[in-house]
Structure 1
Amino acid sequence: MSQYPFRPAPLSGVGLDRRRFLSLAGLGLSAAALAACSGGPDTSGAGASAATDDTDWSTVRPAAAITFWSSNPGASQAVTQQLIDAYNASQSETKVTLVTAGANYEEIAQKFQTAQAGGGLPDVTIFSDVWWFRYYMQKTIIPLDGLAEAVDMDLGDYRDQFVADYQYEGAQWAIPWARSTPIFYYNKDHWSKAGLEDRAPETWQEFEEWAPKLLAAGTGVQAAFQLPALAGYAGWTFQNNLWGWGGGWGSPDDFDVRCDATESIAALQFLQDAVYKGGWAGVASNSAPNDLTAAAVSATISSTGDLVGIQKSATFPVGAGFLPGGPAETSPVCMTGGAGMGIPKDIPKENQLAAAKFIKFMTEPENAVTFSAATGYIPVRKSADVSQLTATNPLLQIAIDQLEVTRTQDRARVFFPGADQAMANSCANILTQQADVAGEMSALKAALTTIYDRDVKPNL
């Protein structure tokens, strides 16, 4: 049974004990070691050379069989298999087999990393927002521009915010697939009992004013708001708070680290005070969406990929809205996230071509709508007809509309190997151990700077 601590549990209680953190960080920082197995990384103009693909794909015949590795994000295994079955039935040149290669993004990434040295690579695999760039630095994936042209994949029809997340050095390194933004979910019944207007708060300061009313409404909640399970979402969702206060982990445009800026510290201090001083926020020990659907809390922030699951599990009407802003900025304070599809470098050209054709099919507008209807992920194609989808599930329109006010994630999170785990560790200390915020952010900056100097800068 899930626990809903009003006061946060010890660090191990949020699923991020020191041994697990160090093992994940070790995995994340293994780019140089893995590359060394094949002679070490080429640091002379790696980006430009890696983005060059002179293959004449018209002379290549697609492979007869390929595998697709997925961790089935958003409980998507059934709909993914449905789409694969449809693809296999639609043509006879290539059969695709779905392989569940991990329970989450980290597990599938670990398996993919291991396969670079041990063999058994997939032909298509999912790349999460915090893993694909290390594959680029290792030069273990291929740019997809030439293949996209060869199979008539219209990159211009993919939502700009999503497709841009996989671009670097003038090349496209993955194709958007299970993509999302976080949105603000709330229990409409609790809102009504507290006498609140049926909408999400515009700012965190406004919600801070609402929280005592929610706690006093006789709903039996242990917290008005549930912060996410830190091991999985802290680095992602807390960008909302950092940006709202005018800070950030870093920048979307360069490799600066800003987590120790005055504004960043103030944002995280607000969250710590919400837990320890204000007493209106809790910390999820496992799943904030589960805490919400159990009516143990009144609101939380989670991915749109959780939308359908939340709606199915909740016994109350679910409300949703844009992410709140902060005292410095109210828009854009929302990030995108999720996974794309990419192709390994060290597989035959025949497999790479077959993989590209499969990716094109999986992300066709009508298939993007099918995938979205089953999961809550946002359809990745501009031309996708979402009218029936949003008529059936109006809350999905909120996620689509919020795309217009998103910003690219800070590079310090998504481009630094292991940074997401380091951020989660620091946030766990702040929110479950009441550690000094400024001290934690100073230590985090030192750790992130080391990651950049050791594992990023030499491989750019």
Structure 2
Amino acid sequence: MSFSQPAEFNRRRFLGLAAGGLSAAALAACGGGPSTSNEPASSAKPELDFTGVKPASNITFWSSNPGSSQQVTQEIIDAFHQSQSDIKVQLVSAGSTYEDIAQKFQAAQAGGTLPDLVVLSDVWWFRYFLQDSIIPLDGLFKALNWDTSDYREQLLTDYKYNNSTWAVPWARSTPLFYWNKAHWAAAGLPDRAPTTWDEFAEWAPKLQSANAGLQHAFQLPALAGYAGWSFQNNLWGQGGGWSAKESFDVTCDKPEAVAGLQFLADAVYKGKWSGVAGKDSTQDLSAGAVSATIGSTGSLVGILKVAKFDVGAGFLPGGPKSTSPVCPTGGAGVGIPKKIKPENQVAAATFIKFLTSPENTLKFAQATGYMPVRKSADASAIIAKTPQAKVAIDQLSVTRNQDWARVFLPGADQEMANACATILTKNGDVQAEMTKLKSTLEGIYTSQVKPHLK
């Protein structure tokens, strides 16, 4: 089944949105959740006018504290209070995962107390656009003389639709290939990440034989959080994807996509050099139980704090069809609810501008491992202290926008995780599971997304 896009739904208007998040572990629990409402999404409207609106004196910021960021976020809030006296910000921990905060935000739409700004993950913000629950920020950019040209283009354009901007990048990440350098040295391997997955498949037996007591040469990330996000790398390397590039045409059952997942299944069941993390594969790596894994840049600081060995970080490996770009962006931005007073919206935007300033994006990145979202932010101090951070910044130039099937179909991420769990923990048939997944994803598109697109 093939879905053609409505005439108005094209790349120029729907600038590539990307994701996950995903997180340290929290960055990725993004599946499931509420369906979109039956109300039509707003088509292009004149930008909101905030001329003469005085900011509210007190606002709330709902966060899931991605990457264990509560402390550094509070420090930035304290600095904001010191910089001015008109606006006070209360940080509210609205759950420990993106799904937690999304569920709470959804419930508040039905009559609860809404926040004034809220964390919006890669797989959640678009459904809020469909529900008409968040506002475009362009009018606030103008009202606050907020020049957005300094944001990294790959990250800001993730939140553009209908020629409007619906969130600002904040806790942004890419997946990285992490490895135990001591294990590499024991196996006589070159001190670098593998260029391709086939190359790593050749290295894996050497790692296992050279490092006694090793559980696996590689640990797949926990599927509930990472499958839909990080496995795009494996599918893209084979020339496939969850959906066709910049399209809602679901292609997860095509030979290329099946080959990408079959490679992972074979690593678990035939080669037996890969396991599947029950909770957090980066913790398994840090403990020395495995030699390598894929994890968010948001996990970097945590890994370095715990690991008793030198940690390597590199670009994601490619596949036989493509070695670049095969890395998705991910993580979260911050947005503003529609059903709050204009003065609260102005106050929230004033704080977001401060929160994501060059100085504060550096402070946040240094504390968490997320990427600085401003081009003018001088990351040299971070790189000097944590050389691995440069890898994430360098890889950003060769990232690819995520498959629409993952980030724009409500609940698709969880469906992908469920299908991958059957394949990788129950030895399910890859083709059969991907055929079922395609039917599920097409049903989500037809019932929950297509009716809202002009």
- Select between 243-252 and 125-134 the one with higher mean Cα deviation: 243-252
- Give the whole-Å Cα distance in 2 for the aligned partners of 1:167 and 1:233: 24
Aligned to 1:420, the other structure's residue is in SS state helix
Is structure 2 residue 439 aligned with structure 1 residue 443?
no
Q: Which residue number corresponds to residue 116 of structure 1? A: 109
1:54 deviates by 3.5
Q: Where has structure 1 moved over 6 Å in runs of 4 or more? A: none
Q: Which residue number corresponds to residue 421 of structure 2? A: 428
- Give the whole-Å Cα distance in 2 for the aligned partners of 1:96 and 1:235: 34
Aligned to 1:69, the other structure's residue is in SS state strand
Is structure 2 residue 53 aligned with structure 1 residue 60?
yes
- Give the whole-Å Cα distance in 2 for the aligned partners of 1:319 and 1:253: 33
Of 42, 47, 52, the residue aligned with 2:43 is 47
Is structure 2 residue 242 aligned with structure 1 residue 249?
yes
Of 325, 332, 352, the residue aligned with 2:325 is 332
- Give the whole-Å Cα distance in 2 for the aligned partners of 1:110 and 1:260: 30
- Give the whole-Å Cα distance in 2 for the aligned partners of 1:90 and 1:251: 47
Aligned to 2:227, the other structure's residue is in SS state helix
Aligned to 2:217, the other structure's residue is in SS state strand
8 A Cα contact 1:343 1:355, kept in partner: yes
1:24 deviates by 6.1
- Give the letter aligned to residue 39 of structure 2: P
- Give the letter aligned to residue 422 of structure 1: E
Q: Which residue number corresponds to residue 344 of structure 2? A: 351
Q: How does 1:26-425 map to 2 (within 5 A)?
A: 27-29=33-35, 31-32=36-37, 40-42=38-40, 46-49=42-45, 52-55=46-49, 57-425=50-418
- Select between 346-355 and 161-170 the one with higher mean Cα deviation: 161-170
8 A Cα contact 1:101 1:108, kept in partner: yes
1:255 deviates by 1.4
1:142 deviates by 0.3
Aligned to 1:409, the other structure's residue is in SS state coil
Aligned to 1:47, the other structure's residue is in SS state coil
- Give the whole-Å Cα distance in 2 for the aligned partners of 1:74 and 1:252: 29
- Give the whole-Å Cα distance in 2 for the aligned partners of 1:219 and 1:130: 40
Q: How many residues align?
A: 426
1:88 deviates by 1.1
8 A Cα contact 1:190 1:219, kept in partner: no
**C-alpha RMSD of the superposition:** 1.4
- TM-score when scaled to structure 2? 0.92
Change in 2 beyond 3 A, CA 1:193/1:371:
same
Q: Which runs of 5+ in 1 are unaligned?
A: 1-14, 16-20, 33-39
Over residues 34-65 of structure 1, what are the superposed CA-to-partner deviations in whole Å (9 max), with x where a residue is unaligned? xxxxxx4136xx3324xx3242x231000000
8 A Cα contact 2:62 2:94, kept in partner: yes
Q: Which runs of 5+ in 2 are unaligned?
A: 1-24
- Give the whole-Å Cα distance in 2 for the aligned partners of 1:362 and 1:453: 38
8 A Cα contact 2:127 2:408, kept in partner: yes
- TM-score when scaled to structure 1? 0.91
Q: Larger % of helix: which?
A: 1
Aligned to 2:62, the other structure's residue is in SS state strand
- Give the whole-Å Cα distance in 1 for the aligned partners of 2:181 and 2:142: 47
Query: What is the percent sequence identity of the aligned residues?
Result: 62
- Give the whole-Å Cα distance in 2 for the aligned partners of 1:199 and 1:363: 33
1:156 deviates by 1.2
